[in-house]
Structures are given as structure tokens and as C-alpha cells.
Copies of this chain bind each other. A is one copy, B any other.
Amino acid sequence: MAKEKNIGITVKKSENFSEWFTQIVGPEGAELADVRYGVQGFIVHMPWGFKILRKIYTYLEEEFEKDDHEPFLFPTVIKKENLEREADHAGFAPDVFWVTKAGTKEMDEPVALRPTGETQIYPMYSLWLRTYTQLPYKRYQSRITTFRNEKTTRPFLRGREFMFMESHNMYANHEDVMKQIETDKIIMEKVIGEKLKIPHIFFKRPKWDAFLGADATYVADTLMPDGRRNQMSSTHDLGTNFSKAYNIQFIDKDEQKKYAYQSCFGPGIWRIMAALIGIHGDDQGLVLPFDVSPYQIVIVPIIFKDEEKNKKVMKKCNELKEKLSKKYSVFLDKSNNTSGWKFNQWEMKGVPIRIEVGPKDVEQFQVALKRRTSLEKIFVPDEKLMKTIEEESLNLGKDIDERAKKYFSDNTKEANTLDELKSLLEKHKGFVKVPFCSVERDGEEAAEILKTETQGAYVCGTPMDVNLKEQAEGKKCIITGKPAKHIVYVAKSW
């Protein structure tokens, strides 16, 4: 009989992360995405991957709406004229895909596939905003894809089409912008930190690395197992740059017309997925936190040749499925595959809890249970099952959390000279904290030298609300030798 598919990862994560990642993502791994679509950088999201991504979207949407953001949806294309109206932002143009033909005819005016939302949304904000009573004005669009003509592409890390969501807010003053950025940080902590258990730092990026047209950019960076930073979200303090370019004004309390202050926040759904796969996964496959897994529990019947016994096994499995489904998302694997193949498959897919039921378990009023992060199977009496699942789901969370936090702190080091930095980056990769002269424009040249000297490491910035200035006191910039104003984080980047 033809098999539905072969599964298995043939390399170790610690030895070849890049190949491990490719295999786990693909159709013979956890079936998250298929890159064989035939257009570079445009991939197919397969059901298991799509359902995880949908959960990430749902959790973030819930937080956005609790914070009074209303959902809307803009077109996939943008007018050329609007795309280029903000001078700095026009820098996106070289990366944009253009729709130039309709049927066999050239279009009068080509339109761009959306590379990001500002330039499509703000012309409408100019029509919609009238008075201060509408402020703060919070809107977001979700479950959209955006497009950039990237040279190299990788599922979930860099695509020509990738999953996105973005809020675009307006305020009467700059204090409200800063309050929102604090809230965006908390949203990342709640969803990405607590639910998905992905450790990260909320940085203020150096001035030279801010978003095109923004006054300042804040990001949530995590580390991939190859030691490169993965930027999972960005929040931009746009000041009044865009409201001036797009003429977004409101009548204030004092009857004066004023330009709106703006911020926008974009969790990179793909990037979050890449972190989830890369950081928690192991050599058997994905490892999914309990709240993120499409199935939380999978039931595998252990079938032998005895028809009578098999009936009893299936009866118990069906009853279990019904009972557990009231509280959990449960899958009963009735397929014709062997038990061993099923075990491998569901471990590959990262399902948190596996329950096995064989003829012996029926006789002894028990089940066998294995949590994804444990090496051991345990036998659980039927009457204790609900309680054990509860406990094991918490144990799983603890395992994942501890492992991820240890990994994150093990890969964050310190250096006080360029030589130390270079040797650290060579050995362990990851974040290195170093004294640095400046994160304003006057530090850009030093950052360029750092990048060249380290073969591509970036100054990631300073953590938003941890004051590292005191730690920098008395230290010297590892590049210029000038007194260091900050301790910055340095890492290579995705």
C-alpha cells in the first residue's frame, strides 16, 4: 500500500539548524508549509501550520480589541502616488511588486502590491479624522499578507509574500503615542511571552535603524538557535511626519486645526512562528505550548489481531474522545498506520499530550500518557485522568518555559572590547552586551565599523525600559574608545 507520506528529520538541530528548520517545516516534517509552489518566496501554508498561525492571530486580535482597536481591511494594492508621498518612506520603492497589466492591456497607472500599510491607510485617515473627540483613534487590519521583493527567501523568516497584522493609531499628543508603545510591549509579553513562551527583549532601535519615516522604532527581538536575532514585531513612533505628508488634521478643543500624532504596531506573524518552531522544537519535531497546539491531546488506539479486544479498545477511545473534547481539543487517530508511525507523527507535530489505549489498559482501567517534553510514559488510572492532564499541561508549560529562558540567558553574554565581542560572536553567537558611544545619528559610523569588523553583526539597540546607562558609566565604546553612553546589545540578524 502507498503511504500517505514519509516523515522524519535526518539532522540534529544543534548540528545543522538551517537544514533542521527546512525539514521540520516541510511536508515530510511537521507539514507547516510547502515551498514547491513554483514562485520564489510565495509559499503554501499547510493545515497544521495554518492552524497554529491562526491561533497566534486570534490571541493578538483579542488583545488588540481589548485595547479598543477596531478591525478594518484595506486593499491588497496601493496607488503609486500614495506609496511615494512620504519622502523617506518612498525608499521602499525598489522592493515593491507592480501590477501593470489587466488582461492584455497595460494599465493607465500601475499599482503596487502592499509592502506595508501606512501609505494605503493614511490617505483615508485624512478623510476620516475630523475632531478631537475621535481621538485616540485605534484601528487594525489582520490576517493579511504583504509583499517585498526579497533576494533570499525562507519560510516564516523572509518571504516575498508574508503574513502580517498592523495597527494604525492617531492621537492628540506625543504622550499618548508613548503610552501606546508601552501597551504594545505588554501585548507582546502577554501573547508571545506568556502564551507562546518565547523569551524576547523590547528594544529601542538605534536612530539610524528606525523605520523609513519614523521618529523612533521599538521592536521585540528574540534569538534563533543559529544565534541570529529575529525581529518579531515593530512599533513606530511616527510623530507627525506622516500626518503632514498625508494631511491628517483634526479640530482640537481650542477650535484650532492640528496634525495628528501617529503610531503603528506590526507583530510579524511569520517571524513569531519561526521563533516558535526554532526555539522550542527538538530533534523529534515541533514542541508546541498547550495554548497554541491545534490538537492538545491525541489518542492512539493500540490494535492487535484480536477483533474482540480491538472493539473494546475502540469503545474506550471513543468514550475518552467524547469526554476530553468537552474541555480540550482532541484528535483520535483511527488511521491504518502503525502505532509507532503515529507516535512519530504526533511527536513531529508537537502535540502536547499523547494518550495510548491498548487491550491491557482496557482491562486495568487505565491509559498510558506521554507529554511531549518528557521521555517517559506514565500509566494513569481512569478516574485520575482529568486531573493528570491538567497537571501535565502545566508541567509541559514549565518545561518549555524553563528550557527557553535558559537558552536565552545562556546566549546573552557581555564584552568590553571589540576582540572579546568578535571571539564571543564566533563561539556562541547570540546577543552580546557591549559599551557603545551613541544610539543617535552620531553613533552610526561606529555601528558600520562594528558591522564590518564582526562580519555582519548589528547594534540592536537598548532595552526600552531597562536603564543600562548606569552600567555604561566609566566604560569606553568598544569601537571609538569614547566614553560609552549606553550598553547596547549586538547580534547577527535574520
A168 to chain B, nearest CB (A): 12
Partner pick for A2 among B51, B94, B130, CB 8 A cutoff: B130
A3 in the interface (beta carbon within 8 A) = yes
A166 at the interface (CB under 8 A from B): no
The CA of A42 and the CA of B76, in the complex, are separated in Å by 8
Q: 1/0 per residue A134-173: CB within 8 Å of B?
A: 1000010001010101000000000001000000000000
Residue A47 CB within 8 A of the other chain: yes
Bound CA–CA A147/B111 (angstroms):
13
B111 close to A5 (CB less than 8 A):
no
Q: Is the CB of B102 within 8 A of A99?
A: no
The count of identical subunits is 2
Collect the chain B residues with CB atoms within 8 Å of residue A5's CB.
130
Which residues in B have their C-beta under 8 angstroms from that of A73?
Answer: 44-45, 50
CA distance A382 to B444 in the complex (A): 66
Which residue of the partner chain B has the closest CB to A145? B76
Q: A315 within 8 Å of B by Cβ?
A: no
A131 touches B2 (CB 8 A): yes
Nearest B residue to A43 by beta-carbon distance? B75
Chain A contacts with B in 89-122, Cβ cutoff 8 A? 93-104, 110-111, 113, 120
Interface: A77 (CB within 8 A): yes
The smallest C-beta distance from A425 to any residue of chain B, in angstroms, reads: 32
Q: Which of A3, A77, A113 has the most CB of B within 10 A?
A: A77
Partner of A71, one of B34, B44, B47, B98: B47
Q: What distance in Å separates the Cβ of A164 from its nearest Cβ neighbour in chain B?
A: 12
Of all chain B residues, which has the CB nearest A251? B2
**Which residues of chain B come closer than 8 Å to A97, judged between CB atoms?**
99, 101-102
Bound form: Cα–Cα A42–B112 in Å: 13
Q: Given the interface contacts A2-B251, A34-B124, A82-B38, does A100 sit within 8 Å of B102 by beta carbon?
A: no
1/0 per residue, CB under 8 A from B, across A67-90: the answer is 000111111110100100000000
The answer to whether B128 and A37 have CB atoms under 8 Å apart is: no
Chain B residues with Cβ below 8 Å from A403 are: none
Chain A residues 1 to 59 lying within 8 A of chain B, measured CB to CB, are: 1-5, 27, 34, 36-39, 42-47, 50-51, 54
Query: Which of chain B's residues have a CB closer than 8 A to the CB of A103?
Result: 93-96, 149
Pairwise interchain contact A50-B74, C-beta atoms closer than 8 A: no
CA separation between A131 and B149, bound complex, in Å?
A: 38
Is A336 part of the contact surface with B, judged by Cβ < 8 Å?
yes
Please measure, in the bound complex, the distance between the C-alpha atom of A36 and the C-alpha atom of B82, giving whole angstroms: 13
B44, B46, B77, B131: which contacts A161 (Cβ < 8 A)?
B77
Q: Is the CB–CB distance between B44 and A75 below 8 Å?
A: yes
Q: Which residues of B contact A130 (CB under 8 A)?
A: 2-5
B72 touches A149 (CB 8 A): no
Could you write out 23 A-B pairs with CB less than 8 Å apart?
Answer: A1-B251, A3-B131, A4-B134, A5-B130, A36-B124, A37-B74, A37-B75, A37-B123, A38-B82, A39-B77, A44-B73, A45-B73, A47-B72, A50-B73, A51-B70, A51-B71, A54-B71, A76-B147, A94-B104, A96-B103, A98-B99, A98-B102, A133-B336
| For the complex of A and B, 5 pairs with smallest distance between CB atoms | A42-B75, A47-B70, A98-B101, A45-B73, A2-B131
6 further A-B pairs in the complex, CB-CB below 8 A; given A3-B131, A39-B111, A76-B145: A1-B251, A38-B82, A39-B77, A96-B103, A100-B100, A143-B143
